[in-house]
Amino acid sequence: MKIMHQQMLAFLAILMTMIVIVGFLFAQFMFHSVYEQTYSNLNNYATTFFSLVVDTEEDNEKKLNVDPSAFKTARKVMSDQGVEVSIYDNKTHKRVYGSTGPKKISETLWQETFSGDARIKRTRTGEQLSVYRGWMYGGEKLGVVRVSRQIVGRSAQSTMLLEEMVAAMVIGGTLAMSLAAVISWRWSHVITDMQQATEQMTEGNYELKLTRTGKDELGHLARDINNLSLALRVQSDEIIEQEERRKQFMANASHEMRTPLTTMSGLLEGLAYDVFPEEEKSRAYALMQKETQRLIRLVEENLDYEKLRANKIVLRKQKIDAYKMISDLSNQLASKAAHEETTIAVSGDQQATVFGDQDRLTQVLFNLINNAIQFTQKGQIKVSVGRQHNATIFKVADTGIGMTAEQVDNVFERYYKADPSRMSTKGESGIGMAIVKQIITLYDGDIAIDSTPKVGTTITVTIPDQQTAN
């Protein structure tokens, strides 16, 4: 269904609904008012009638005395007002005066008539309203008077309201359809232009320009479409690449910053609980300062957005003491390994050096040792470094749970987790090995994994020397 027809039907439905609701509420109000007014009048008639025609006298028993002449006169006056009146005796509950109404009142109705303080019972059958008023004297029930009357005007009012509602619906429907047609045509014309414009944009045509620029919502939408077309024309060749780089930037930055923060957190916790001997505290402070500087460097590097846009990551290469690097990392993670009842052993060529970016290489080795701790309980981790064929060789071997061949093939995929349950409990994201692979690739290096389930894993990283590295 077109929007024009939808608008017309919506206007008509809203208007008809409002007319019906208002008419219904007004009719109910009128009917209720007539009913309450009739009841109030009948109640007054009943009270007045008793006081005019009934006398009480005290002898051996209390009884109902009605003045026939007064009854006849009062009945005629009320009859002129459309009111019927009857009197019922207390002993027999039968009608003793009057010719309308039931000949006898049921015991239930009789008791209900005297049950309230006002001793009034009203009933309605169809359009007839009856009020029963009990009369008592000296605590004794004397009788009941019944006054009844048609609820005047309800049928006439119903017919009149129905006719007026039909007329209002016809007139309002005509006006609503006319107004809806004008507004809907105007809207549908503008929306059709916008639809055609967006279809052209999906086909790669960003040269279009909508002419409608009013101050209403459609005008704002037209300007937004024009701005979108301009932006797509300028950025169509870059938007996908930029989005991928943004995701890569956020993931790598978060993971890289976690490494020094974890180290500092562990040192601070150790200092807080006075775990370190006094002679080791100065070393801990120095290490925290070192990690702080490293974190600052990482932040500065990640904020270098233009380099990231060009897909150019700068490695600050220098000659590094490789043995000292693995010793420092092993010491940093020793307490974490102890929680898993695992030991870390460092071995290899103590004179070995490596040419590379210390932050990046530290990140690689930290991830490898940290992963070994996560998947090793009550075992041993061996970290070693050596020289071979103009390259530095790092090895991290553990006696942990190991991996299957399928897991080894997928371990370098981003967000892949060999054991999701253990990784989630350790707070890891599953991106660490992907970053390790990327960094080693930048060095023209190599990483190899030898793993056997339930036996352990050995990871070998080869970093070429300065003479062979790019």
Residues 34-74: tens digit of each pLDDT: 777 777 888 787 777 777 776 655 443 556 677 777 778 87
Residue 416: predicted pLDDT: 61
Q: Which CATH architecture has domain 315-470?
A: 2-Layer Sandwich (3.30)
Please determine, for residue 347, whether its predicted confidence score (pLDDT) is greater than 90: yes
Percentage of the residues of the chain whose pLDDT score is greater than 70: 73
In this structure, are residues 352 and 386 in contact, taking their beta carbons and an 8 Å threshold? Answer: yes
User: What's the rounded Cα separation, in Å, for the pair 145 and 42?
Assistant: 11
Q: What is the pLDDT of residues 405-454, one digit of tens each?
A: 988 988 887 546 566 554 444 434 455 687 788 888 888 899 999 999 99
- Least confident range from 174-183, 285-294, 355-364, 398-407: namely 174-183
pLDDT at 156: 59
Locate tokens 């990640």: which residue? 302
Backbone angles phi, psi at 376, to 5 degrees: -130, 125
Q: How far is CA 284 from CA 217, 287, 316, 323, 362, in A?
A: 63, 5, 25, 19, 17
Alpha-helical (H) ranges within 96-238 are: 107-113, 154-202, 217-235
Tell me what the mean pLDDT of segment 282-300 comes to: 82
DSSP codes, 341-389: T-EEEEEE-TT-EEEEEHHHHHHHHHHHHHHHHHT-SSSEEEEEEEE-S
Owner of token pair 């998947």: 375
- pLDDT confidence of residue 468: 47
- How confident is residue 321, by pLDDT bands cut at 50, 70 and 90? very high
Mean pLDDT of the chain: 77
Task: Could you please state the CATH topology (level 3) that the domain comprising 3-155 is classified under.
Answer: Beta-Lactamase (3.30.450)
Lookup: tokens for 92: 């027999």
- Residue 443, phi then psi, degrees to nearest 5: -85, 0
CA separation for the pair 297, 291 (Å, rounded): 10
Range of lowest pLDDT (51-60, 233-242, 243-252, 330-339): 51-60
Short-list 95, 114, 69, CA closest to 85: 95
- Comparing CA positions, the residue from 250, 251, 304 lying closest to residue 433 is 251
* pLDDT of 298: 66
pLDDT score, position 413: 74
pLDDT at res. 462:
95
**pLDDT category of residue 245 using cuts at 50, 70 and 90:** low
- Check residues 224 and 19 and name the one with the higher pLDDT: 224
- Residue carrying the six token digits 């020094």: 260
Report, as an integer, the average pLDDT of 354-382. 91
Q: Are 314 and 306 in contact (CB under 8 A)?
A: no
Q: Which residues pair with 346 in a beta bridge?
A: 383
Query: Comparing C-alpha atoms, which of 387, 294, 299, 287 is closest to residue 333?
Result: 287
Which residues, other chains included, contact 448 with Cβ-Cβ below 8 Å and sequence gap of 6+?
459, 460, 462
Q: Beta strand 343-348 with 380-387: parallel, antiparallel or unpaired?
A: parallel
Residue 140 pLDDT > 80: no
Residue 257 near residue 298, CB atoms below 8 Å: yes
Q: In this predicted model, what pLDDT tens digit does every residue of 91-117 receive, in sequence order?
A: 888 888 887 888 888 888 888 888 765
Q: What per-residue confidence (pLDDT) applies to 305? A: 35
What architecture does CATH give domain 237-312? Orthogonal Bundle (1.10)
Of 399, 392, 391, nearest to 458 by C-alpha is 399
pLDDT score at 306: 44
Q: Taking the domains of the chain in order of start, what are their residue ranges?
A: 3-155, 206-236, 237-312, 315-470
Q: Report the DSSP pairing between strands 456-464 and 391-398.
A: antiparallel
Which residues touch 167 (CB under 8 Å, ≥6 apart)? none
Predicted TM-score (pTM) of this structure: 0.39
pLDDT value at 154 more than 80: no
pLDDT at 312 > cutoff 50:
yes
- CA 121 to chain centroid, in Å, comes to 55
Q: Greater confidence, 1 or 222? A: 222
